Amino acid sequence: MADGTQHAAAWDRATLTALFDPETGWLDRRVLSDESLYQLELERIFARGWNFMCHESQLKAPGDYLISYIGEDQVIVVRGADGEIRALLNTCRHRGNALCRAEQGRAKSFVCSYHGWNYALDGELIGVPGQSTFYHGELDKSRLSLAKARIESHLGFYFATLAEDAPSLHDYLGVTGRAGLGMICAHGEIEVAEGVQKNIIDCNWKIAVDNLFDWYHVPYSHASANTAGFLDIARIQFPKDQMVMLGEYGHAIGGPGIPRAAQDQINALTDAQRMELSHAQADMAPRIRPRAATDLMGPEGVRSEGHPNIFPNLWVTISGTQMCLRLPRGPSHTELWWYTLVPKAAPPEAKREIIRRMNHVFGPAGLLEQDDGENWSQSTRSSRGVASRTLGHNLQMGLGHDEAKVGAGGEHYIEGLISEHGQRWLYRAWTEWMSARDWAELKANHSAPPTGRV
Ligand code: FES
Ligand SMILES: [Fe+2]
């Protein structure tokens, strides 16, 4: 994708690279507040990367559609008459009006509310009022189809990109991204529950993303949830058994990990024995995964109980029970879209119970997000002040103390104490995406996941 705007001109490779130092863990706070960096992110990260659009269960029948975003470009994601899912830019080819105003629904075609141009579900322009009179039969409809984004899927999750030269979704996700999506399906087929919860927090989108790797804040920020008896932090945190997986292009997973010896014991069990053990566990404890999960997550990845982030902005939470998209809305605002995932085969009352519980964990009514949102908002605000924006963020935890290993499935993983390896990987990748002018440069210059001392 060509860029070359004034935003690119303002930030050359050297100045962009200097915004985060992976050797010391210092982050320049302008990364969280500068308007021209934000505009460059829309071009070089969001338009170029693979953005989560939907799960196949959200678009069951031909004509089912929903609105999603690639950065600030609105997209109609729609299942066509032929059953194919497409991503069409939601902007009329006449005078740019947004064609589709509903967030989701079922349509036979999309008619523009301005002058009535009508588009088929595959984006083709099929009707123009006054075509033979006002246009004298001269309008070439074949050149005025809706613009399309590339769309591909993995395990039923659809992602779209505006970059023709992007690698396939499979290659983009790599081992770590595929393990992250595999975590959601590790217990069997899932579907997205009706109703995506949406709210806006006044924070930079990256603050929300770096927090998902942050298990340091959990006992402090979320102490009230523990005190209220809602969350037993000791049962979920495992501060000395942490596992961070790092993948290409910024994908990462961070959080508790099952120690190898414990996983070896699990591996010796049948699926029926694992199920029995899971039922005997406390409510919020992650369920023991069945054998098939190893194929989805890899022999080491299957030990992760952490939080995956599919770069740039798709968070998979709590062993794959919810997902959250962090959509950028300017440098100081982020729109959060919360999805609850339920086992496809579960009876309706079990699905209702999962949805009820998850609504109280994350999302606008979630106990945990209310704690987080306030901190993210204030970190963003203080990154704007003339003096406070010069101070930098400290991300040095664990630096130089750990060992990155490679699993038999190609997983790059680090085990040990709570650390900031995941956050450093995020900002390192951010500088690489931001300083590459196209995919060829990004492929050539991005960091391979590390091995050895980190
Ligand atoms: S802007 Fe859509 S028909 Fe004119
Ligand atoms: Fe939190």
pLDDT digit string (tens) for 360-393? 888 888 888 888 999 999 999 999 999 999 999 9
Pairing label, strands 314-317, 322-328: antiparallel
Which CATH number does 6-47+168-453 carry?
3.90.380.10
Residue ranges of the domains in the chain? 6-47+168-453, 51-154
Lowest mean pLDDT among 213-222, 241-250, 254-263, 280-289: 280-289
pLDDT band at 1 (very low <50, low <70, confident <90, very high): very low
pLDDT band at 5 (very low <50, low <70, confident <90, very high): low
Is the four-CA dihedral 152, 428, 430, 213 of positive or negative sign? positive
Alpha-carbon span 194 to 152, nearest angstrom: 23
Mean pLDDT of the chain: 95
Alpha-carbon span 245 to 178, nearest angstrom: 12
Question: CB within 8 A of 247, min separation 6: which ones?
Answer: 173, 174, 175, 176, 177, 412, 449
Q: Which residue has tokens 């189809």? A: 145
- Averaged pLDDT for residues 429-442: 97
Contact 51, 69 (CB under 8 A): yes
Mutation to probe ligand 1, out of 76, 99, 112, 128 (largest number of atoms < 8 A from CB): 112
- For residue 370, the CA-to-ligand 2 centroid distance in Å is 9
Instruction: Say yes or no to pLDDT of 295 above 80.
Output: yes
Q: What is the pLDDT of residues 175-208, one digit of tens each?
A: 999 999 999 999 999 999 999 999 999 999 999 9
CA neighbours closer than 13 Å in the CB half-sphere of residue 177: 25
Q: In ligand 1, which atom is closest to the CA atom of 97?
A: 1
Nearest CA, atom 4, ligand 1: 115
- At the topology level, CATH places domain 51-154 in Rieske Iron-sulfur Protein (2.102.10)
Question: CB within 8 A of 290, min separation 6: which ones?
Answer: 186, 187, 188, 271, 274, 275
Phi, psi of 160, deg, nearest 5: -130, 155
Nearest CA, atom 3, ligand 1: 115
Instruction: Say yes or no to pLDDT of 358 above 80.
Output: yes
pLDDT, residue 430, reads 98
Which ligand has its closest atom nearest to the C-alpha of 98?
1
Mutation to probe ligand 1, out of 88, 89, 93, 97 (largest number of atoms < 8 A from CB): 97
Q: In ligand 1, which atom is closest to the CA atom of 99?
A: 2
- For residue 5, the CA-to-ligand 2 centroid distance in Å is 37
pLDDT band at 81 (very low <50, low <70, confident <90, very high): very high
Pocket of ligand 1 (CB under 6 A): 92, 94-95, 97, 112, 114-117
Beta strands in 10-116, from DSSP E residues, in sequence order: 20-21, 26-27, 51-55, 64-70, 73-79, 85-89, 104-106, 110-111
Lowest mean pLDDT among 37-46, 88-97, 225-234, 377-386: 225-234
What DSSP character marks residue 451?
A: -
Alpha-carbon span 321 to 364, nearest angstrom: 16
Is the four-CA dihedral 431, 436, 437, 439 of positive or negative sign? negative
